Amino acid sequence: MCAFYTDSMTHKRTALLALASLSLCKTASAQSILGFTPASATHEIEIENKFKSIPNADEERRQHRIFTQEPHIAGSKRNKELADYIAAEWKKQGLEDVIIHRYDVYGTNPKSASLEMIAPTHYQALLREKPLPGDDDSKNPAISGAWLGMSISGEVTAPVIYAHSGNPEDYDLLRKNGISVKGKIVLVRYSNPYSYRGFKALTAQREGAAAMLVYSDPQEDGYKKGKVDPEGPWGPEYHIQRGAITYDFMVPGDPQTPGWASVRGAKRIPIEEAVSAPKIMALPLSWHDARPLLENMDGPVAPKDWQGGLPFEYHFGGDRVKAHLKIEMDNGIQPYYVVEGRIRGSDLSDEWVVMGNHRDAWVFGGVDPSSGTASMMELTRALGELKTQGMRPRRTLIVCSWDGEEVGLTGSTEWGEQFADELRAKAVAYINVDEATSGPNFHGQAVASLAPMLEETTRSLQDPSRKTLYKVWKETVERERKEGQQSGQFNASGASNQTLADTRIGSGSDHTVFLNFIGVPVLGLGFDGDYGVYHSAYDDFYWMNHFGDPGYKYHTLMSQLWGITALRLANADLLPFDFATYASNIRQFVNDMAAETIFKNRDDFDLSAKYAKEHAADAKQVVPKSTYEIRGLDLSKVRKEIDDFEVAGKNLNESLNHRLSSGPLDPKLAATLNSGMMQVERNWLNPDGIPGRPWFKHILYGARFTYAHLELPGLTEAVEKQDWPAAKQQAEILERALHNNTQLLDELNRRLGPQ
Ligand SMILES: [Zn+2]
């Protein structure tokens, strides 16, 4: 039986490919890959098989040990040593044009911090993590105490108020209970629900709090979840989640060079004028240190969803608990280093496939990011070996080790800003890996046009359980979607996705500059699992070897997957973009926006369907979202443009597949088609950016201040504010971009000629 059929039966392009495959099936070894002619696909499979055989678990473990040996925070001596190490290794491995870029940025380092409860009793917070039996790294004297990047220095003595998760609605509830946090210290917890700690800091700052303490409640990542380190993967009593509080949801990178690179001599704005620089003191706490504060609080009993995992009743707080907090920071200019290497393309060297992972870690960075860095070193070793054996990719592969991701996505942002023009002209895609491995569950992210190619790629890899990675991924996603539905989460992330790949991409890692500032399609790869030691000193080599990936099998699989995804993009005859899938995703974004807006604001919106408002709750289940309309904004033109874009995308898929199946391509035609397809993502950018955040230029993809994904950011935010003139303007920008891209696809289709 022709392998082709079984492999691609469920794929969207099946019917067309099936036709095309009639001729393919004549040769026994015929394989099909999106974007490849039959002959190129056969050749590609040979290359991939060779590639897959190179990464091995022992090497992954050896590299992982090198990166987790010592703490290596952004800007530290050790992190520079690791940059030099990577550069030297890459040269040995056969990478070309290896270079270390230096950016002089506004960095952040701790000097000292102390917290003491002065009433009703005295308690001096440890602000340190105790060593764990069996884990020698946890004894390392170089481990930092508690600190948050970009906190300001200061000193305050004030009452402590418990503000739950530190989100705006939490302060509303405190207000309703007659509690003001002005001039006080707020104690918030990390993730109930999750929101980025920088958003918590901004919210506390806006509320007029003098300082924010943020702690890890055992409910979320500790003993309430399961066994804690060193017996299990969850966070022990003393673990401290460090992190930065930079307002990089406003503008990422160096706060003093918003929108341009911090190269030597670059113009710098005063830090007081930098919108992404916080103006509040902030410190993280283990639950061990938070407990005495919480336990002694007076004031009304906090509501049920504010209660946590500690064995007492949580109160809002009043005047009873007072604390003295002092933080001294060393914030100022320091160098960050980005390592870049490449393998120049054999015949399309001016088309780039870019890959990256950050190097800086809060402490050892067992998962975050050293699992990704180890996988990257095996990826580059394998790519170098292919090159040495004469298998140079057709397009140029660029790989980067970013610095200062943890501080504000800094290294990647500065690099992206420095090379923005070149990237706009040359970049095919960016593949990001951050926390590569914290367990066995695969999650892939992709802009919608690349979702099918990512799914197809996972079919050619085997998971350690010996099923295809595709199958395991599908099972994971199906399980999670079911759990999401059961827990009653309306439109839980991905619940209405039509793809396995998560096409709703927020911020919080190094893909941001590529997608949101330059308009480069992005992919993100990661394996995850139970992980309660994030950003603590216990996220280390011991943890990885006992819980995360004891055999380093998932690290190895990551190197394979990362490489094969890159090789397919680098070697394709025609770039494997699927714009019909993009169109149907955009339609879903619009429908979800309309539906969510309606359910959030029942009184202000109507269902255009026959359903009366009082039935809206039932309607949630049964009314197709496509029938939701927002009163005050006519979306019919947007919908029509999406339909047109989808038709153009389908037509192009057909023509491309037909052309690919009929043998070698004229290089000039291929070049025209490829550069046209690369242009589509750029066309989603609005040079003015989204209202209030000009750095974020993508009109389909954005992020909330919490880092959560936010589709159609300009439009959605205007609709949520019920600012109808602004919403109309944003809808028109979307219509125009859709229209331009439809015309572009139609033009490419014409170039392909009659089929
Ligand atoms: Zn990370």
Summarize pLDDT for 736-749 with one digit per residue, the tens.
999 999 999 999 99
Q: Pairing mode, if any, of strands 332-343 and 96-107?
A: antiparallel
For range 53-58, the mean pLDDT: 98
Pairing status of strand 332-343 against strand 281-285: unpaired
Ligand 1 midpoint to CA 509 (Å): 7
Enter the pTM of the model.
0.92
Å from CA of 436 to ligand 1 middle = 9
Q: Is the pLDDT of residue 183 over 60?
A: yes
For tokens 């105790």, the residue is: 130
Query: How far does the centroid of ligand 1 lie from the alpha carbon of residue 510, in Å?
Result: 9
Given the structure tokens 């039509």, which residue do they identify?
498
Å from CA of 523 to ligand 1 middle: 15
Residues 91-114 as b or e (16 or more Cβ within 10 Å = b): eebbbeebebbbbbbbbbbbeebe
**Alpha-carbon span 334 to 312, nearest angstrom:** 45
Q: Is the pLDDT of residue 139 over 70?
A: yes
Residue matched to tokens 């064995």: 311
Distance 197 CA to ligand 1 centre (A): 14
Q: How far is the CA of 230 from the centre of ligand 1 (A)?
A: 22
The tokens describing 547, both together, are 């819980």
Q: Residue 158: what are its φ and ψ, rounded to 5°?
A: -160, 165
- Spatial neighbors of 523 by CB under 8 A, at least 6 apart, are 429, 430, 431, 432, 444, 445, 446, 447, 450, 454, 565
pLDDT for 628 beyond 70? no
Show the CA angle centred on residue 169, arms to residues 163 and 172, nearest 5°.
75
What's the pLDDT score for residue 380?
98
Exposure string (b/e) for 274-290, b if CB count within 10 Å is 16 or more? Answer: bebbbebbbbbbbbbbb
Asked if residues 203 and 272 have their Cβ atoms less than 8 Å apart, the reply is no
Given a cut of 90, whether residue 329 has pLDDT beyond it is yes
Tell me the average pLDDT across 575-585.
97
Per-residue confidence band for 500, with pLDDT thresholds at 50, 70 and 90: very high
For residue 99, what are the β-bridge partners? 340
Would you state the pLDDT for residue 624? 53
Give the side-chain half-sphere CA count within 13 A for 147.
Answer: 25
Say which residue, 7 or 63, is predicted with more confidence. Answer: 63
435 Cα–ligand 1 center, Å: 6
For ligand 1, the distance from its centroid to the CA atom of residue 438, given in whole angstroms, is: 12
Q: How far is ligand 1, taken at its centre, from the CA of residue 406, in Å?
A: 6
458 Cα: distance to centroid of ligand 1 (angstroms): 23
In this predicted model, what pLDDT tens digit does every residue of 227-274 receive, in sequence order?
Answer: 999 999 999 999 999 999 999 999 999 999 999 999 999 999 999 999
Contact by Cβ (8 Å): 420, 517: yes
Query: Ligand 1 centroid to 371 CA: how many Å?
Result: 10
Omega before 168 within 30 of 0, i.e. cis: no
d(C-alpha 692, C-alpha 706), whole Å: 16
Q: What is the dihedral of CA 691, 694, 699, 705, to 10 degrees?
A: -70
User: What are the tens digits of pLDDT across the range 397-419?
Assistant: 999 999 999 999 999 999 999 99
What share of the chain has pLDDT > 70, as a percent?
90
pLDDT tens sequence across 233-245: 999 999 999 999 9
In 223-280, the DSSP E strands lie at 243-244
**Token output for 150:** 């970009």
SS3 of residue 117 by DSSP: strand
> What spacing in Å lies between the alpha carbon of 570 and ligand 1's midpoint?
26
When the pLDDT of each residue in the chain is averaged and rounded to a whole number, the result is 91
Q: What's the CA-to-centroid distance between 411 and ligand 1, angstroms?
A: 12
* 399, amino acid identity: V
- Contact at 8 Å (CB) between 499 and 505? no
Q: Which of 734, 488, 686 is nearest to 590 (CA)?
A: 734
The model's pLDDT over 482-498, given as tens digits with 9 standing for 90+, comes to 887 665 444 434 434 67
pLDDT at position 617 over 70: no
For residue 439, pLDDT beyond 80: yes
Q: What is the pLDDT of residue 629?
A: 67
Q: How far is the CA of 365 from the centre of ligand 1 (A)?
A: 8
Ligand 1 centre distance from Cα of residue 11 (Å): 33
Residues 6+ apart with CB under 8 A from 180: 174, 208
Q: Report pLDDT for 212.
A: 98
Residues 72 and 405: beta-carbon distance below 8 Å: no
What integer pLDDT is reported at residue 484 of this predicted model? Answer: 74
Evaluated on CA atoms 679, 696, 452, 745, the torsion sign reads: negative
Bridge partners of 396, per DSSP, are: 352
Say if residues 172 and 150 touch (Cβ distance below 8 Å): no
Angle at 258 between CA 677 and CA 80, to 5 degrees: 90
- In this prediction, residue 358 carries a pLDDT of 98
Both tokens of 106, joined, read 């506004």
CA of 198 to the centre of ligand 1 (A): 15
Q: Separation of 508 CA from ligand 1 center, angstroms?
A: 8
Q: Identify the pLDDT of residue 599.
A: 61
- Across 378-396, average pLDDT: 98
The identity of residue 448, as a single letter, is A
Whether residue 559 has pLDDT greater than 90: yes
The rounded distance, in Å, linking the Cα atoms of 504 and 708 is 9
Instruction: Determine the pLDDT at residue 601.
Output: 53
Q: Radius of gyration (Cα) for the chain, nearest Å?
A: 26
State the distance from the centre of ligand 1 to the C-alpha of 299, rounded, in angstroms. Answer: 38
Nearest to 420 by CA among 248, 245, 257, 247: 257
Q: 521 and 450 in contact (C-beta within 8 Å)?
A: yes
Per-residue tokens: 525: 């790869």
CA-CA distance, 124 to 297, in Å (whole number)? 16
What type of residue sits at position 228?
Answer: V
Amino acid (1-letter code) at residue 15:
A
How far does the centroid of ligand 1 lie from the alpha carbon of residue 742, in Å? 37
In the prediction, which pLDDT does 594 show?
85
Cα–Cα distance for residue pair 181/169, rounded to 1 Å: 14
Judge whether 8 and 32 are in contact, CB under 8 Å. Answer: yes
With a cut of 80, say whether residue 625 has pLDDT above it: no
Helix (H, G, I), strand (E, B) or coil at 321: coil
Q: Measured in angstroms, how far is the CA atom of residue 250 from the centroid of ligand 1?
A: 19
pLDDT of residue 632: 81
Any residues with CB less than 8 A from the CB of 670 and at least 6 apart, and which? 573, 574
Alpha helices in 662-723 (DSSP H): 667-682, 713-720
Q: What is the pLDDT of residue 620?
A: 45
Question: CA torsion sign, 154 to 158 to 164 to 166?
Answer: negative
Quote the pLDDT of residue 486.
61
* pLDDT above 60 for 603: no
